Chains A and B, each alone.
Chain A
C-alpha cells in the first residue's frame, strides 16, 4: 500500500502543476487554497506573534528585574501585560494549532485537502488584520489596551483609556477567524475521512482537534457577544455591566469565564493530541489506552463548561457555589490523570529513543503535570483566597501554556519538519534549543510559585524589596528563554534550506497515513483516498 500511495501522490503533483502552481511570489500565498500552504502561513504567523509577544514579555521582565520603576510607566506596563497575554493566547498558541490542523488533519485522514478551502484562505488572511489593529493601538494617543487580557468591566468600560473599540474589533476578527477554522476542521473530519477510517480509528491527534473545534464553535460566539456588550456599554450608553444603570460588573466575569475556561482547554487539548502521536512513535509501542484517551478528552471538554467560577472564588459567592465549582474543578484531574498515566504507560518498557520530538514530549508530560498540580492547589477554595491574583497563578498558567502548549508545538514541529521540508533538522542545534529552553524556562517560571506564595501580586510594575532576589532570577531566566527561541528559528530556517534528505518515514516507530507519502509532502496528496483497514 505504501509504495502505491507514494506513486499516486507523485503523479498527483505533476497533475497539480497544470493549474495550481501557476501563481508565484506573494500571489501564491494570498490566493492559496491549499491546506499545506495555509498551514505554513498559520505556523509562520504564530511564530512571528510568539516573537512579538515575547519581546513584550522581555520589557516586562526588564522592568521587574529590580524593585522600583526603571524603564516603563505603570500605565504602559499594564499595556504590556495586556497585549502580551492577548498576543500569546490568540496570536501564538491558537494559530499554531490551527496550522498543525491544516497541515496534518487532511494527511492523517487521507483527504485531498480541507473541506472548505476558500474559507480556509479567508480565515487565515483576516488574522493579520486583527493583530495589526491590536498592535497599532500602541502608536495611538490612547495607547494599547491596559485592562488585562481578561478585560474585566469596569476597567475596560468606565475606566478605559480609549482603546476599547480597537480591542473589541480585533477580538471580533480573531473570533471570526477561529470559528471559520473550527467549522472547517469539523466538516473535514466528518466528511473527508478515507474509506474504512471510522471515528474510533482516527489518530488521537485528529480526535483532539475535532473536540477542540467544537469547543471553539461553542465559546467563541459567547466571547463575541461579550465584547459586543462591552462596546455598547462603553460607547452607546447600555448598562450591561454598569451598576448605576441596573447592570452588574460581576456578571462580566461570569460571562467572560464561561468563555475563558473552555478557552484554556482549546489551548491544551491539541497539545495532548500532538504528544499522544509522538510518544508512541519513539517508544515504539502503540498508544496505551487509545479509547480511554478519547473519552478523557471528551470529558475534559464537557467539564470545562461547568467550572468557570473557580476563577472568581473571591468575588463573594454562596458557600454552595464555591463547593460546587471546587469539586467540579478537581474532578477534571481525573481524566487528565488518565492521560498522564497513559503516556507514562506507553513509555513503560518501550524501546525508547530520545530525538528532539520525544525530548520535548517528555518535558511536556513532566512540566505540564507540575502545572496541573498547581492548578489543583488553585482549585481549592480556601487556599485560592491566598493565591488569587498572585504570581502563583502566573506560574501555574505559564507552566501549562509554555511548558505545556508551546512545548507540544515545538515537539510537533520537530516531528513533522522532515515531512514539511523534506530535510532532517540539525539534531545538534535542536539539542541546544531544547537544553537552553528547558533550563531557562524553569528558572523563569519555577520561582514564580514562591513569589506568589510569599504574596507578590500579579500585574504590578513595582514590588516590595523582599521579592527582589527571586525576581532577578526570573528575569534572567526570561531573557535566556526568549533568546533560546532564536535557536529554534535557526533550526527551522536551516532545515528549510537544506540538510540530510528525509525519507518518507524518517521515524521508524511512526504510524499514520502522513508517513505513506513522500517527504517533503507533495503539493497534492490523497487525490484518490487510501484504503484503511
Chain B
C-alpha cells in the first residue's frame, strides 16, 4: 500500500524532472544558435576579427586632429578560384584622425563569364576596427562584373578622433569572394 503510493510519487516527480531537463536540452540547443549573434557582440567588444561597419555612417565634422598622423594601408586578397584582378589604386595613405578620405580600388573580371564578387573587409589590429568608419564603400553591396569588364570602386572613410594613441598604423584588408552561385539561387 505505502509502497504503491511511494511509487506514484516517484512517477510524477520523475516526469517533472524529465520535463525540466528536456526544457534545458531545448534551451541549450537554442543557445547554440544564439551564440551566432552573441559572437558578433563579442567581436564588437573585444575587437576580434577586425570587423568593420557594414552600412555607411554619416561623417561627423568634429574637427581634425592635425597633430596626429595615422598610416592606413590597403591590401587585397582573392579567395579560391576567383579569376579577377583586384587591387588598391594607392597602397598606403596618411590621414589625420577626423579627416575624411577617398580612395579607389581597381577590379577587372579576367574570366570568360560574368561573375558577382563580394569583398569582405577586415581591419588589423582588431581593436582599431571600431575606430575605422566607412561612410561609403563598395563592400556594402555586391560587385557584378561582366566578362572582361573593369571598374574603379570607391571607399570613403575617416578615422575616429579617439583612436587609441598606441595605434599608428591601420591595415584594411579586403578578401574577394565569388558569390555568383549564391546570387543565382
Contact = CB atoms under 8 A, between A and B. Distances in A.
A33 to B, nearest CB: 14
Chain A interface, >50% SS class: helix
B14 A186 contact: no
B28 A218 contact: yes
Interface stretch (A78-86, A240-248, A409-417, A420-428): A240-248
B94 interface: no
A258 B182 CA distance: 30
Nearest to A225: B32
B44 to A, nearest CB: 12
B1 interface: no
B177 A222 contact: no
Given A183-B21, A318-B126, A219 B48 contact: no
Interface string B6-33: 0000100110011001101111111111
B118 A244 contact: yes
A284 B36 CA distance: 52
A395 B32 CA distance: 30
Given A221-B26, A248-B39, A251-B39, A226 B32 contact: yes
A191 B39 contact: no
B48 A191 contact: no
Interface range on chain A (Cβ under 8 Å from partner): 35 or more
A187 B32 contact: no
Given A218-B24, A221-B32, A243-B177, A528 B17 contact: no
A245 B182 contact: yes
B79 interface: yes
Contact of B49 (A190, A191, A248, A255): A248
A287 to B, nearest CB: 28
Interface range on chain B (Cβ under 8 Å from partner): 35 or more
B112 interface: no
A317 B178 CA distance: 28
Contacts of A229: 32-33, 36
B17 A240 contact: no
Interface string A246-257: 101011001100
A153 to B, nearest CB: 13
A192 B9 CA distance: 11
A217 interface: yes
Given A183-B22, A251-B36, A222 B48 contact: no
Interface in B26-68: 26-33, 35-36, 39, 46-49, 54
A237 interface: yes
Nearest to B42: A254
Contacts of B3: 528
Interface in A246-296: 246, 248, 250-251, 254-255, 258
Interface string A326-355: 000000000000000000000000000000
Given A116-B18, A183-B21, A254-B39, A244 B79 contact: yes
Contacts of B79: 243-244
B172 interface: no
A452 B144 CA distance: 47
A179 interface: yes
B5 interface: no
Contacts of A225: 29-33
Q: Residue among B27, B33, B54 with the most chain A CB within 10 A?
A: B33
Chain B interface, >50% SS class: helix
A218 B175 CA distance: 37
B14 A191 contact: yes
Contacts of A258: 35
B177 A244 contact: yes
Interface in B132-185: 175, 177-179, 182, 185
Contacts of B32: 221-226, 229, 255
A441 B22 CA distance: 40
Contact of B29 (A190, A221, A243, A255): A221
Contact of B48 (A223, A318, A528): A318
B100 interface: no
Nearest to B179: A244
A107 B83 CA distance: 67
A248 B120 CA distance: 11
B21 A243 contact: no
A191 B13 contact: yes
A321 interface: yes
B175 A240 contact: no
Interface in A41-79: none
Nearest to B82: A244
Interface string A441-468: 0000000000000000000000000000
A139 interface: no
A222 B31 contact: yes
A316 B125 CA distance: 10
A221 B28 contact: yes
A219 to B, nearest CB: 7
Interface in A176-215: 179, 183, 186-187, 190-192
A191 B46 contact: no
Contacts of B54: 246
A318 B120 contact: no
B129 to A, nearest CB: 11
Contacts of B33: 225, 229
Given A237-B185, A318-B46, A221 B25 contact: yes
Contact of A115 (B14, B126, B178, B182): B14
21 contacts: A183-B22, A190-B17, A217-B24, A221-B25, A221-B28, A221-B31, A222-B28, A222-B32, A225-B31, A229-B33, A240-B36, A243-B177, A244-B120, A245-B179, A245-B182, A250-B49, A251-B39, A255-B35, A317-B46, A318-B48, A528-B3
Interface of B: 3, 10, 13-14, 17-18, 21-22, 24-33, 35-36, 39, 46-49, 54, 79, 118, 120, 126-127, 175, 177-179, 182, 185
Given A116-B18, A187-B14, A224-B32, 16 more contacts: A116-B14, A183-B21, A183-B22, A190-B17, A217-B25, A217-B28, A219-B28, A220-B28, A221-B26, A221-B29, A221-B31, A229-B32, A240-B36, A255-B39, A316-B49, A318-B126
Interface of A: 115-116, 179, 183, 186-187, 190-192, 217-226, 229, 237, 239-240, 243-246, 248, 250-251, 254-255, 258, 316-318, 320-321, 528
Which 6 pairs, one residue from A and one from B, show the smallest C-beta to C-beta distance? A225-B32, A244-B177, A221-B29, A221-B28, A222-B32, A183-B21
